[in-house]
Amino acid sequence: MSTLDDIRREVDRGLRGVRTAFRGVMRGITRTTQVQRARFGGLAGEELADAEVMQHFGFSSAIPEGADVIVVPVGGRTAQSVVIASELGSVRIQLGAAGETVIYSQWGDRVHLRQDRSILIQAASQVNVQAPLATFSGNVQVAGNVQIAGNLSVTGTSTGTGAATFSGGVTGAGVTLQAHVHSGVQPGGGNTGGPT
């Protein structure tokens, strides 16, 4: 037997004690630690707990139970396992084209960057923007009602159809609707002068 065969045999024996990446199924997650910790079952039947869940910076998700995960045992040691990827196929959003991206929850809410260069934001309850200023550089269309709790300032022409109801004062071109007077008042069928 050659020295090369001896080396191969020793390498094979050494590698048998090193575990490679494997699949698992999520059983639960601890979200309150600085790095989330996962409990999952390996496909070989073992139950593992306290594995770190590594995610890309700026993105964080609490992997739901039943999701498939890919686990890397750092240094080949199961006790040093790290979850590096997850998928829950039953709720995954089917994308329409290569290159599209979607952020979604298991309840169906989503932000979808689509091939036609549009972005779809879909939420079952509400979308809440918390910022001191929101700026839109193009037109804004609203299909439902608009409620404004603060003041409304318009630069440009305002047009509309339907009735307008105001409970406070209305002023146009410096003349108040509630307290203005007219000049040239005449009895009978004559017209008054303009408001003053």
Q: Is 7 helix (H, G, I), strand (E, B) or coil?
A: helix
Tokens of 148: 């404004």
Residue 89 CB: number of other CB atoms within 10 A?
8
**Looking at residue 147, what is its pLDDT?**
93
State the residue for tokens 């240094």: 75
Each domain of the chain, given as residue ranges in start order, spans: 19-87, 91-126
pLDDT digits (tens, 9 = 90+) for 103-112: 999 999 999 9
Predicted confidence band of residue 38 (pLDDT cuts 50, 70, 90): very high
C-alpha of 103 from chain center: 6
DSSP 195: B
CA distances from 176 to 168, 179, 195, 196 (A): 11, 6, 9, 10
Nearest-angstrom CA–CA distance, 41 and 49: 9
What topology does CATH give the domain 19-87?
OB fold (Dihydrolipoamide Acetyltransferase, E2P) (2.40.50)
pLDDT digits (tens, 9 = 90+) for 55-92: 999 999 999 999 999 999 998 888 889 999 999 999 99
Does pLDDT of 5 surpass 90?
no
Candidates 58, 52, 59, 60; CA nearest to 36 is 52
Candidates 173, 55, 4, 150; CA nearest to 63 is 55
Q: 192 vs 143, which has greater pLDDT?
A: 143
The full length of the chain comes to 196
pLDDT digits (tens, 9 = 90+) for 111-126: 999 999 999 999 999 9
Q: Kind and range of the H or E element at 9?
A: helix 3-15
Question: Do the Cβ atoms of 126 and 144 come closer than 8 Å?
Answer: no
